[in-house]
Amino acid sequence: MKNFRKLLTAAILSGAVSIAANAADTEVQQYAHPTLFGTHAHSYATTKANYLVGGEVAQGTQQVGVIGKANVFVDSWAKDMLNVLKNNCGDVNWNPKTPVLRSELAVILAESFASGRQSVKKNAFKDITANYWAKNWIDTAYDTNLMIGYPDGNFRPDQPVTKAEVFATIAQIVDVNIAEIKDVQFQNQEIQYIPLWSVNATKEVIGSKLLEQTPDPKKVIEDEYLSKQQVAYLISALRSDLAYYKRLATDANAPDVVKNYAPTVLTMKLNSRVSAKHSNVNELFTAKTTKDVTIAGECFPAGSTVTGKITEVKRPGVNHPGYIKVKFETIKNGKVSVDFPKTVSEATAEAIKNPNILARICGAPFSATGRVAGIVGRSGATALNVAGNRVEELGDDTSDLFVESLCLHPGSGVKSAGNGILAVGKGVVDIAKTAVSGTFGILYEVTDELVYLVYPKASNNSALNPDEELVVIF
C-alpha cells in the first residue's frame, strides 16, 4: 500500500508539472530525428520548455526574417500591431485577413509615427465617443495630420478602407518619381479596383517597392480592400525604409511626425555563433554594438553589450533547412541596463562570414558526437516507449481473452486475441521504423557535419556568425 501511495503521488506530481508547463508560455525545441516516418512524436514537458521528439513545429507567422539570412527570424513590429488591434477592439471574431477599418488604420499610423504622443485636439469627431476603443489613436492621427475626417464632422471608424485609399495615404508620405511607371501593375498583373483619382498614388506605391514585402500578393492585385495584416506589413516596410535604408524620399507635404521619424537602429556584432544546427531554446547569446545608440533616453556607446535569447529552434532536416528564432532583450554599458522594445521592424545581416576551417575542424567532432548520442538515446527511448505500450495492450487483450472466454463469450475472446496479435505486430513495425529512422538520422548527421566542414555556407542561412554585423530596427 505504501508503494502504491508513493507511485500515485509521483503520478499526480508529474501530471501537475506537465499541466503547468503546457499552461505557461513554453518555448519549443525540435529535433530533426527520428522523423523519417513521422511516427511516435511525444514530448517532455518542463516549466521552461517542451522538447518534441519526431514531431513537427509549425513555423510562426507574422515574424521578420533577417535579410541575408533566410531562416533566421525575430518577432515583428507588424505582429505587435496586429496584437494591439486584436486586444483592444473588443471583437471576438476579429480576423487579420479581413479589410482594414479606418479606426485600425488610425491605430497603425499613430503607433508608427506618433507613438506616445498626446493629442491636443479632443473630441474632434461627432461619431467618436469618449470611451471608443481607438479614440486616443484617432485623435493622435488627426492631430498629426496622418488622417482626416469627413466634411460632415464624422470619422466613420468602422468603415473599411479601400486599397486605393491606403495607397493614397502612403503616397502622401513618400515622394517617388513615376515618370517611367506607365502601367498600374504589380508582379506583371494589373492591379484591380484603382479609380482614376488614385492612379498616380498607386504608381508611387508600386515604384516604392513596398508592396514586395506585403503578404498575399495575389489578393493585393485582385481585392478591393487590403487586409489588416497587409497594411501592418506595408507600413512596417515603410518604417524600415524611412528609418534605415532611406531609399525613399519623404514627400514635401508629408506630416511633420513622418519627417521627424527616428526609430532605434541597433548595429552590432555577435560574440558567438548561433545556429539551427547546434543552438538550443532559452540559450543566451551576446553581441557588442558597433555604433552609439540611444534607447529609452539612455545613450549607449559603441562597445555596449547586447544580450539576446533563442526562443525557437527547428533542426535542419532532409527536406527543410531548419530555422532559428531569436529575441533581443537588453543592452548594458557599465551599470546602466535597458530593456529593448518588444518587437522589431526589420533586421539585416550586413556581412556573411563563416567560422574558419581550423575552428570547424576542432568543433565538428564534439557536435557530431553529441548529435549522434542524442539520436541514439532518443531512438532507444522511443523504441522502449513503443514496446511498453504494446506489451501493456497485449496484457490487456490476453486478460480479456480469458475473461470473455470463461464467461462464455468466445466470439469476444477471439476478437481480443486478434487485437493482441495486432498490437504485437504494430509494435514490431513501429520499433523497426524507429530503428531505421535512427540509423538514417545518424548517417544524416555525420554527413551534415562533413558538409559543414567543407562547405559551411550550406547552413549559413539558419545561423548568425561571430563578427557578422547585424542591423536591427526597433
User: pLDDT digit of tens for each residue in the chain (474 aa)?
Assistant: 444 344 334 333 333 333 333 333 344 444 444 444 443 333 333 333 333 333 333 334 445 555 556 566 665 678 778 888 999 999 999 999 999 999 999 999 998 888 767 766 666 799 999 899 999 999 999 999 999 899 899 999 999 999 999 999 999 999 999 999 999 999 999 999 999 999 999 999 999 999 988 888 999 999 999 999 999 989 988 987 887 678 899 999 999 999 888 777 888 888 887 887 778 888 899 999 999 988 877 889 999 999 988 888 877 765 666 778 888 889 999 989 988 765 555 555 544 455 566 766 777 787 678 767 877 887 788 788 888 888 888 888 788 878 878 887 888 878 888 887 888 888 888 888 878 877 877 776 677 667 667 766 656 667 777 767 787 777
Instruction: Please indicate, yes or no, whether residues 269 and 137 belong to a single structural domain of this protein.
Output: no
**pLDDT given at position 343:** 52
How many angstroms separate the CA atoms of 49 and 311, rounded?
Answer: 10
| Cα torsion angle, 139, 140, 144, 145, sign | negative
Picking from 286, 293, 353, the residue whose alpha carbon sits closest to that of residue 68 is 353
Picking from 284, 292, 288, the residue whose alpha carbon sits closest to that of residue 265 is 292
Instruction: Please indicate, yes or no, whether residues 241 and 190 belong to a single structural domain of this protein.
Output: yes
Angle at 188 between CA 183 and CA 189, to 5 degrees: 75
User: Of 259, 280, 300, which residue is a domain's last?
Assistant: 259
Residue 211 CB-density burial (10 A; 0-12 exposed, 13-18 middle, 19+ buried): buried
Instruction: Please indicate, yes or no, whether residues 404 and 444 belong to a single structural domain of this protein.
Output: yes
Peptide bond into 34 cis (omega under 30): yes
Instruction: Please indicate, yes or no, whether residues 329 and 215 belong to a single structural domain of this protein.
Output: no
Residue 39 lies in a domain: no
Q: What total of structural domains would you count in the chain?
A: 3
**pLDDT given at position 174:** 94
**pLDDT given at position 333:** 94
Instruction: Please indicate, yes or no, whether residues 115 and 236 belong to a single structural domain of this protein.
Output: yes
Question: How many alpha carbons lie under 13 Å from residue 246 in its C-beta half-sphere?
Answer: 7
Instruction: Please indicate, yes or no, whether residues 249 and 297 belong to a single structural domain of this protein.
Output: no
Residue 387 lies in a domain: yes
Identify the residue whose cell numbers are 539520436. 375
Angle at 291 between CA 286 and CA 297, to 5 degrees: 90
**pLDDT given at position 231:** 95
Instruction: Please indicate, yes or no, whether residues 348 and 361 belong to a single structural domain of this protein.
Output: no
Instruction: Please indicate, yes or no, whether residues 188 and 148 belong to a single structural domain of this protein.
Output: yes
Sequence-separated (6 or more) residues with CB below 8 Å from residue 364: 449, 452, 453
> What range does the domain containing 425 cover?
357-457
**pLDDT given at position 167:** 95
Instruction: Please indicate, yes or no, whether residues 151 and 187 belong to a single structural domain of this protein.
Output: yes
- Residues making up the chain, counted from first to last: 474
From its phi and psi, is residue 282 left (phi > 0), alpha (psi between -120 and 50) or beta? left
**pLDDT given at position 206:** 95
**pLDDT given at position 65:** 52
How many angstroms separate the CA atoms of 358 and 365, rounded?
Answer: 12
How many angstroms separate the CA atoms of 167 and 230, rounded?
Answer: 12
Residue 24 lies in a domain: no
Instruction: Please indicate, yes or no, whether residues 341 and 371 belong to a single structural domain of this protein.
Output: no
Picking from 311, 305, 313, the residue whose alpha carbon sits closest to that of residue 271 is 305
In the numeric block, which cell numbers belong to residue 422?
495486432
Instruction: Please indicate, yes or no, whether residues 449 and 308 belong to a single structural domain of this protein.
Output: no
The secondary element (H helix, E strand) that includes residue 83 is: helix 77-89
In the numeric block, which cell numbers belong to residue 103?
479606426
